[in-house]
Structure 1
Amino acid sequence: MTERLVPGDPAPAFSLPNSTGGTTSLTDFSGQQVVLYFYPAAMTPGCTKQACDFRDNLASLQGAGYQVVGISPDPVAKLEKFVAKEELTFPLLSDSDHAVALAYAAWGKENYGKTYEGLIRSTIVLDGLGKVTMAQYNVRATGHVAKLRRDLGIETSDAA
């Protein structure tokens, strides 16, 4: 398991296939603040709730200067279906070999002292210079976006 990221760490570079058939790289967001969230599987109840929460709060996050990017081990075809079904309006990236999740310490779990492989639901916030400003691991799918907005100091009164 990779050591968890902490504020001030450089964000590991990545370039991954996205849900629109192209490629998205960290450098595409140069000069922008980014919320990277890692989720286990598209179209599951928890991941759908979390993605829809990001979708429903996207305007306020973007208004505060943040771009949102979701990353999962799902294949591109499943991400395409997820985007269409839930009308998601931010990039979803396919990390099928878990290399990016591993680099961000979002791969590998420990439960009752036993380590096993799996995605750790995590959110990493980056500044415009590619540095980590916040790293949250083992987050809950439900209520996470509201907590993230509070942690980022973004007004929550207009949230649906």
Structure 2
Amino acid sequence: MRALGVHAASDVLWFAAVEPDGTLIDLGNAYRLDLPKGLDTGQALIIARKDICRVLRAYDIGLVWLLSAEYDKRFKQGYHALVPRITMETVVAFAAAEEDVEFRRVARETVRSRLGYDSGKLQEIAVELVPEKITPNWGPNKRDLAVATVLAALSELQDSQ
């Protein structure tokens, strides 16, 4: 089963997909999805959902893991700062449901654990796992985190078989 890792940063989604054998899939220009601008909120969300559904169908994705925002006691974001990210994450969940694709929201600790790390920044772990930069937009906090997430999803898939 092909898996998709998703990292949301404000109103941008970063995607990485992987084959069952661990090969990263070249998503072409579908590695990034921005919430459409210049539309009313409802229309923008509908377009974003349709775009995500297209990615899921085009790459025959069977599992989506979405990386949750990191919790840090020292850094507190206000509600309004998180709304765009939470909105985009919710659109991913609806798109996966519409396409009957398994969806899971995962914490950074889960990703680290599945990848065999007790601690460390996911950006650094992604660079260890994939030392050659995947351009464009390889880190920090962009496609690198989507790659770490999808590799963790693959690890769980392989263990369950």
Q: Note whether the superposition's TM-score is higher than 0.5.
A: no
Q: Could you say which structure has the higher helix fraction?
A: 2
Question: What interval of TM-score do these two structures reach, taking the shorter chain for normalisation?
Answer: 0.3 to 0.5
TM-score by length of 2: 0.35
Q: Could you say which structure has the higher strand fraction?
A: 1
